[in-house]
Structure 1
């Protein structure tokens, strides 16, 4: 007997549930996000897709990319007018440029985007020759609307007047600090900055000759550093370095966990949310815990970040001891401590150290020897010089940059105690003269130091598009890890932990026991990091 419908049930015509159409450009956006390190669940949430749908798109990567080669335009349901190869390339490079702006938290306007698009198109057209000169492109508002739709672009950050918020935020921060009872030793800030690790000032023969070399690619000499420390200025965090290659030949024979930087890779040398998430969990939180223990402080910290896309919004949920606060977009550039002189002082130290390195290795007289040394100067040399430059940065500089956001914590009142950029510049000019590199002016040094934060040029964007790695930066090198398995490392660390537990349980609080425990913990830190590195690699291989 058929079941009767309840009286209050709504009668609706039977219909199949409408399926959401997934256009080709959305599929390509999913694949792009995978390539820059975003997690499956995050991509699904951002684009409003089911996790299973995102996984299916990932699994069909090759078919989708093959389809994209013949689809014109991406979202079209019917054929429209033909889009030239120059237009396709220009939009692809413009998308990379926009992502770079977003990475560095730089606001852009529609007018700026249109200007960059026109500039890219003109340069690409000149590169193609006379055969492409007939096509016209004005970067109109109509084109921008279609470009934004084709690439699923979000609303752009625009330049805002931030004076009011700049004045208000120190009071907001003050109340947070008072509420959490944080000391200057427990308040931290970190920020990303770019570094062209093998760039010489204009006027040196090295700069001239290197640019003239066939296949020279300045984008290959670009890396990203995450620099930071506490407001007291007495604790600088180990720099995070993101390079375009995971295993360059220069690192062969080195154990990455023992490098003076935290080594990570991304093909465009960008930080990603997954890289930052890992840094926060496995490096920042343990470093804070260790620092607090060494200084008899409560294990807690306040981390201040800008709202760059690579900074996950849920970091506070990952630690019971670290609170994370985000600066408003309109105030970050004006008051963020690491942006008030730390990065510029570091880069001046790095350039000076590089010249010192050349002088030590060559005596600075024979141009042929200098030329040979510079030809062999590799990313491992740069890592060593980065470590020296970061170490040379004075505590007073690290403390003084907090004066706009937390003036009460600034203890070093004498300017003579901070890093003097003008003096560093003069030192660099003098060293350049001693090395006989040619006439180097202070203005050229200033221009070089500023160039690290400049936008990617059209030439560099084209180089990124081509992407062939030079021989010394090849990823063909075998992973540089010690021959210990993850299981062996895990077992060894468990034995250490068990032994320390025996020592501390017999006499908890005993000063001598605590010193021994800390010494042992410090000694095996490299093995903990090696274990984390191997686990990370294992997860990457499975995903």
Structure 2
């Protein structure tokens, strides 16, 4: 037939795909990027290589390094220009520091980052004993630009010289509250804060002795807390606690769901988007529903958040009853309710409770007995004291911190009704005198409370790079994995099975009332997964 090629006609050969040669330099660059902590996909994207190619290079690490040892002089001369181990380590630690600052929503400037880089480099150089004149580092702006490119840095908050308009957001919030007809009982704010749960004032003998000991220091062991409550001040949310260990020995025998905190883990004790997403879906929304039912309120709430990296941007889509609004970056630090004294007051209560705990467990005079108690003071003791300290915060304190952002909701006008930090510090000093810990003054207490808000020191950054010390994981038990993820395909398949099962029941059930009851119960039970499916669909559209 015309136009049809005969079967025995010779097929036109396809063009051969050109193979891309990977030089030794490129392979060494791949390995270098892995060594400084970059992920597989990041390396592939940065170097324009296939992910499978990068994975193969990584798996053949030893062979490639052996080949580099016998390379030609030209290649050897190029390899000698690679940056020093001190520089590589400094940049890796600097990236961790930047991520920590970003987690705490701390504004940064190029100058601050350069100073931190220089400080880290100098400390690492002293530690490793590098004295050569060629190993100097000035942390120039050119280096900073290259550093950002090398590490594919995510966006972090830069400080601005322009003053924030603090009077704008309260008006915006007021209109949102009026539109939604929210009462002070239905408006919430939460914020993350760090806590060094086993840190003592510097002049106590415990602190002095710890500094003299080599190795990991328990006073550097930090956890993260998410604290919050409503504007009325009558409802404090159960604290979310993020620790570097999922199963420390001190929790052996305890049921985590029954702890006075919501226990989650992350290697660096950071709140992540997955942790916050889970908290919002499975803890915050149900807690609001229960609170509203107990107080004869409509099941709805307004949650106010800052723009921290761990706060997902689409939370409002996950609930029909909770609306989420985000503070403006330039005003969040100065007007966010939980940042107006709640965290600092809580930490003062925690320190006072810790001293009370020491006094209850010892006679207060025997330093050996106190030393033994503090050695055994565990993260579980800290959890109990965190719960007591959080409970001790007065409703007036939780209410008056809203005066900058929503002054009309403040009901407690008397200062005596709120927690007085100065009085708490005096109580701590008095308790310290009752316990033979050493000379402790109000300045020491104030310095300790302020230290919780400081960024990670160079020594702490080095410690974070190593395996988490302090409370070890239970032997033979691996840390629980991060929140498991379901794909849209898996969710869709699951929904199909549910629908098929309900169809079988509907077709063969002798009672229509049963059908309706079961159908409602099943759909209510899997509604959280439908929300998750909708969120994933939305995200995929945004990405595409």
**Fold similarity call, TM over 0.5:** yes
* Residue in 2 that maps onto 1:444: 444
Structure 2: distance between partners of 1:445 and 1:71: 58
Q: 1:144 to 1:161 in 2, by over 3 A?
A: closer
Structure 1: distance between partners of 2:235 and 2:162: 30
Q: 1:225 to 1:148 in 2, by over 3 A?
A: same
CA shift digits 1:320-342 (9 cap, x unpaired): 00000011111110000000000
Q: How much has 1:211 moved relative to structure 2?
A: 2.0
Is 1:263 aligned to residue 244 of structure 2? Answer: no
User: Are the aligned partners of 1:31 and 1:58 in contact in 2 as well (CA < 8 Å)?
Assistant: no
Structure 1: distance between partners of 2:54 and 2:370: 48
* Residue in 1 that maps onto 2:473: 474
Q: How much has 1:154 moved relative to structure 2?
A: 3.6
Structure 1: distance between partners of 2:359 and 2:39: 44
TM-score scaled by length of structure 2: 0.76
Is 1:146 aligned to residue 166 of structure 2? Answer: no
User: Are the aligned partners of 1:193 and 1:226 in contact in 2 as well (CA < 8 Å)?
Assistant: yes
User: Are the aligned partners of 1:246 and 1:475 in contact in 2 as well (CA < 8 Å)?
Assistant: no
* Residue in 2 that maps onto 1:379: 379
Q: 1:116 to 1:141 in 2, by over 3 A?
A: same
User: Are the aligned partners of 1:30 and 1:58 in contact in 2 as well (CA < 8 Å)?
Assistant: no
Structure 1: distance between partners of 2:145 and 2:320: 45
User: Are the aligned partners of 1:24 and 1:64 in contact in 2 as well (CA < 8 Å)?
Assistant: no
* Residue in 2 that maps onto 1:509: none
User: Are the aligned partners of 2:216 and 2:469 in contact in 1 as well (CA < 8 Å)?
Assistant: no
* Residue in 1 that maps onto 2:253: 253
* Residue in 1 that maps onto 2:230: 230
What are the residue-to-residue correspondences of 1:513-524 with 2, within 5 Å?
A: none
Structure 2: distance between partners of 1:209 and 1:33: 40
Q: 1:253 to 1:133 in 2, by over 3 A?
A: farther
Q: Secondary structure at the match of 1:473?
A: coil
TM-score scaled by length of structure 1: 0.76
User: Are the aligned partners of 1:31 and 1:57 in contact in 2 as well (CA < 8 Å)?
Assistant: no
User: Are the aligned partners of 2:244 and 2:468 in contact in 1 as well (CA < 8 Å)?
Assistant: no
* Residue in 1 that maps onto 2:137: 137
User: Are the aligned partners of 1:200 and 1:206 in contact in 2 as well (CA < 8 Å)?
Assistant: yes
Q: How much has 1:347 moved relative to structure 2?
A: 0.1
Is 1:336 aligned to residue 336 of structure 2? Answer: yes
Aligned residues: 456
User: Are the aligned partners of 2:301 and 2:322 in contact in 1 as well (CA < 8 Å)?
Assistant: yes
User: Are the aligned partners of 1:28 and 1:65 in contact in 2 as well (CA < 8 Å)?
Assistant: no
User: Are the aligned partners of 2:194 and 2:223 in contact in 1 as well (CA < 8 Å)?
Assistant: yes
What are the residue-to-residue correspondences of 1:190-201 with 2, within 5 Å?
A: 190-201=190-201
Q: How much has 1:361 moved relative to structure 2?
A: 0.3
Structure 2: distance between partners of 1:201 and 1:58: 50
CA shift digits 1:165-188 (9 cap, x unpaired): 311000000000000000000000
CA shift digits 1:102-124 (9 cap, x unpaired): 00001111111111000000000
Is 1:370 aligned to residue 374 of structure 2? Answer: no
Stretches of structure 1 that go unaligned for 5 or more consecutive residues are 4-13, 35-39, 73-77, 482-504, 506-527, 533-543
What are the residue-to-residue correspondences of 1:244-393 with 2, within 5 Å?
A: 244-393=244-393
Is 1:212 aligned to residue 212 of structure 2? Answer: yes
CA shift digits 1:140-176 (9 cap, x unpaired): 1111111111000144422225655311000000000
Stretches of structure 2 that go unaligned for 5 or more consecutive residues are 5-14, 69-77, 481-512, 514-524, 530-544
* Residue in 1 that maps onto 2:457: 457
Q: How much has 1:235 moved relative to structure 2?
A: 0.2
Q: Secondary structure at the match of 1:165?
A: coil
User: Are the aligned partners of 2:30 and 2:57 in contact in 1 as well (CA < 8 Å)?
Assistant: no
User: Are the aligned partners of 2:107 and 2:159 in contact in 1 as well (CA < 8 Å)?
Assistant: yes
Bigger radius of gyration: 2
Q: How much has 1:202 moved relative to structure 2?
A: 1.2
